[in-house]
Amino acid sequence: MGEYITIKNWRAFQHYTDRNPPWIKLHRDVLNDMNFMALDLASRGLLMLLWVLASETEGKIPADESVLLFRLRLRKIHLKPLIDSGFLIPASIPLAGASNCYSETETETETETETETPPFQSAEFRDAWKAWKDHRKKIRAPMTDRAQHLILAKLPKDEATAIAWINNAIEKGWRGIYPPNQKLPNHFQGKPENPMRRAF
């Protein structure tokens, strides 16, 4: 199918043995997914359509804007918010005609062997970051290298503050890292004993 875009965590939640199934699995816990609920309504609807489309090719969609527009019967499509939030993982090189789907800087695809270098090298920060990655795995939302890169880039430049943010997010069972005093909508709240899971 040429270059493609991969749906995040597809294999973890879609266990069909037959290719091109008539439906997809959509867990109700998507309502508790902070990243999903942070998307605007148009992006949420688009992502659901892409989930259905991806069921035809085992969790992948073509990286060709003209194909996507035709298959989804749309006049325009904006994949950048879905790529930025980690729901879509673009291939390394976009096809001709896919330039509007994502920018050149967003076409880097992580592999399982790649690792993200933390901005701080102290043992305390490395322990905190390892605890955060373990937390994400525990709530069934392991991070790709791209997700780690995006989260690390948003951490405070002060090491002590960054560690405090990480510890607070783990304590509250969040899937994202935010300032401890930031007021989040109720549907963004999570409890460690009832972790939020990705629904795709």
Domain spans in the chain, listed from the N-terminal domain onward = 4-106, 123-188
Cα distances from 20 to residues 24, 78, 172, in angstroms, run 10, 25, 39
Q: Which residues, in sequence order, are CB contacts of 32 under 8 Å at separation 6+? A: 187, 190, 196, 197
In this prediction, residues 97-121 reach a mean pLDDT of 44
The pLDDT of residue 170 is above 70: yes
Q: Which residues, in sequence order, are CB contacts of 139 under 8 Å at separation 6+? A: 173, 175, 190, 195, 196, 197
In this prediction, residues 87-104 reach a mean pLDDT of 51
The pLDDT of residue 94 is above 70: no
Cα–Cα distance between 186 and 173 in angstroms, integer? 13
Higher pLDDT pick, 94 / 176: 176
In this prediction, residues 6-17 reach a mean pLDDT of 72
Contact between 83 and 149 under an 8 Å Cβ cutoff? The reply is no
pLDDT of the residue at 197: 41
The pLDDT of residue 31 is above 70: yes
Q: Look at 30-44, 63-77, 96-110 and tell me which has the smallest mean pLDDT.
A: 96-110
In this prediction, residues 174-179 reach a mean pLDDT of 85
Report which DSSP code applies to 2.
Answer: -
The pLDDT of residue 185 is above 60: no
Higher pLDDT pick, 128 / 147: 128
Higher pLDDT pick, 29 / 47: 47
The Cβ of residue 172 has, within 10 Å, a number of other Cβ atoms equal to: 15
The residue among 187, 186, 166 whose CA lies nearest residue 177 is: 166
Mean pLDDT of the chain: 75
pLDDT of the residue at 45: 92
pLDDT of the residue at 200: 38
In this prediction, residues 34-46 reach a mean pLDDT of 89
In this prediction, residues 19-44 reach a mean pLDDT of 81
In this prediction, residues 53-67 reach a mean pLDDT of 87
At 4, which amino acid appears?
Y
Could you tell me the pLDDT band of residue 105, with boundaries at 50, 70 and 90?
A: very low
pLDDT of the residue at 17: 58
